[in-house]
Structure 1
Amino acid sequence: MGDVQRSISSRSVLSRLRLIGLLSGLLLVVAAVPPASEAAPARGNAYMGIGVVTHERTSGMPDAEPPDARAVWTEGVDVSSHQRDVAWSTLWSSGIRWAYTKATEGTSYQNPYFAQQYGGSYGVGMVRGAYHFATPDSGSGTVQADYFVDHGGGWTGDGPTLPGVLDIEWNPYGASCYGKSPSGMVSWIRDFVNRYKTRTGRAAVIYTSTSWWTSCTGGYGGFGATNPLWVARYASSVGPLPAGWLEYTMWQHTSSGVTVGDHDRFNGSPDTLQEFARG
């Protein structure tokens, strides 16, 4: 009888251990699933700065450097489908004088609010341009440059049109560098900007952050002499620039501005901005 009881007791302990193991496994699975807020967005829903907000923003942290003492900036904004119909008159009244609108992403997405945003900013007197959100894992740089130019990203020296922008930053959909090596990423960017220059006669602006550039291009310095820089850093100073650039043309300094979130500074006066637009 004692042997039977010991056998039953042993089976009971084993059953409990198996149950504990099963529950522990379930807890590990649940813990591995990211909250809804961390889930990757649907393709096409990326916007300028989405990777900077996710990877680099340090809300509430003091700046290690003093504020930039530059006397002359011209304020601007950048928008995408997230802003829907934009109150351009309100922005103009608050001193905003230029704007960039997301036109395309990858090789298949077009911003459904592009007409209102691109045309609306022009309608109130702003200098405006278009940007392309790059996804180097979904098509070559040449193909994406063509798609951008064919769907709103062109340039003419008419005065109110700014050169197109290549938005190249942390991948919101997966691997930070889109699965590319530093040399592969540099080649992809070169293909895009070369094709844009061929199609429009104007050098594309490169939007990026110093941290991403260092990580994903290996700190490549070859574009600084040919392509204007739009640097992203949400702080009171612009901080170190990506390799190759000695100065920035534009600076995205916050993602929580008035009327629309992303506010930017052109490095110069309104007259200098007009000269830049004309090329």
Structure 2
Amino acid sequence: MPLRRPRPFLAALLLAALSLTCAVPAAAADTPVRGSAHLGMGVLAHDGSAGSPVTRAAQTEGVDVSAYQGNVAWSTLWSSGVRWAYTKATEGTYYTNPYFAQQYTGSYGVGMIRGAYHFATPDTTSGATQAAYFASNGGGWSKDGQTLPGVLDIEWNPYGDACYGKSASAMVSWIADFLTTYRARTGRDAVIYTATTWWTQCTGNYAGFATANPLWIARYASDPGTLPAGWGFYTMWQYTSSGPTVGDHDKFNGALDRVVALANG
């Protein structure tokens, strides 16, 4: 006569089998899908948020958008005082924003001064390759008074190691490669978007780009805080990811005529 297993034993065995079939490694479940990165994706997680921005004289409100926002209500943003915008165009050499046309031309259509940005992935291809991809897929520039120079979004890696597996010197070389190629393709020096903590960690707080490349600093606090080495002032400041209509809101460090001046080069 076969031995009968106690019912508690069978229940435990079934539970163990279910846990093996349903378990998903935490890292795999939490890793974003390639292409989903955007300006400031790592700011809250790494820098946090503290306080409300201090109102300063002669600052101009802006926004930045990606596919995450979908079709944007540009007329609503214009009515609220937003006068400039940046749209994600590309990431690595494997992604273009499917909403780029609506976002980029839509902001232009309501009268905003607008530009495009590239989310860098230094662990996938060279800086030169990504700059060329960006310039060919929305990151170009024309002197029409409404087109801002392209932006290199260089920040925490949402898909793995914060510094993309690169040493500080290798990261600086990658960035230089991107900037040199972008200037050769467009005639403009790209804006650098970053956060001071990431820049310090991953470039060794390199100061060599400050003379040519405007700084767009990310910090969700009452002020932009300490800037990366070399820059004595910021050109733009992303100060929140929870603003009205579109979450990511920014301040240009100057009146509207200075935004126009940057557009015209």
Taking the aligned partners of 2:213 and 2:77, their CA distance within structure 1 comes to 28
Give yes or no for contact 1:81–1:112 (8 Å, CA) kept in 2: yes
Would you say 1:118 and 2:109 are equivalent positions? no
Residue 40 of structure 2: aligned partner = 49
Q: Which of 234, 247, 251 is the aligned partner of 1:261?
A: 247
Q: Compared with structure 1, are the counterparts of its residues 79 and 197 closer, same or farther at alpha carbon in structure 2 (3 Å cutoff)?
A: same
Offset at 1:156? 1.2
Matched ranges for 1:180-219 at <5 A:
180-219=166-205
Residue 71 of structure 2: aligned partner = 85
Would you say 1:224 and 2:210 are equivalent positions? yes
Q: Tell me the percent identity.
A: 66
Residue 243 of structure 1: aligned partner = 229
Offset at 1:54? 2.2
Q: Compared with structure 1, are the counterparts of its residues 201 and 35 closer, same or farther at alpha carbon in structure 2 (3 Å cutoff)?
A: closer
Taking the aligned partners of 2:103 and 2:24, their CA distance within structure 1 comes to 41
Offset at 1:72? 1.0
- Letter of the 2:31 partner, please give it: A
Give yes or no for contact 1:168–1:208 (8 Å, CA) kept in 2: yes
SS in 2 for 1:55: helix
| TM-score w.r.t. length of structure 2 | 0.89
Which structure 1 segments of 5+ residues have no match? 1-18
Offset at 1:275? 1.0
Taking the aligned partners of 1:32 and 1:102, their CA distance within structure 2 comes to 30
Offset at 1:53? 2.2
Matched ranges for 1:23-62 at <5 A:
33=26, 36=29, 39-58=30-49, 61=50
Question: Any idea what the Cα deviations from partners look like across 1:115-139, whole Å, max 9, x if unmatched?
Answer: 0000000000000000000000010
Taking the aligned partners of 1:91 and 1:55, their CA distance within structure 2 comes to 28
Which structure 2 segments of 5+ residues have no match? 1-11
Give yes or no for contact 1:122–1:160 (8 Å, CA) kept in 2: yes
> How many residue pairs align between the two structures?
248
Matched ranges for 1:152-163 at <5 A:
152-163=138-149
Question: Any idea what the Cα deviations from partners look like across 1:71-129, whole Å, max 9, x if unmatched?
Answer: 11000000000000000000000000000000000012000000000000000000000
Taking the aligned partners of 2:115 and 2:33, their CA distance within structure 1 comes to 25
Name the structure, 1 or 2, with higher relative contact order (CA <8 Å, separation 6+).
Answer: 2
More helix by share: 1
Give yes or no for contact 1:197–1:204 (8 Å, CA) kept in 2: yes
Give yes or no for contact 1:68–1:238 (8 Å, CA) kept in 2: no
Residue 116 of structure 2: aligned partner = 130
Give yes or no for contact 2:51–2:222 (8 Å, CA) kept in 1: no
SS in 2 for 1:78: strand
Q: Compared with structure 1, are the counterparts of its residues 32 and 56 closer, same or farther at alpha carbon in structure 2 (3 Å cutoff)?
A: farther
Offset at 1:34? 5.1
| TM-score w.r.t. length of structure 1 | 0.85
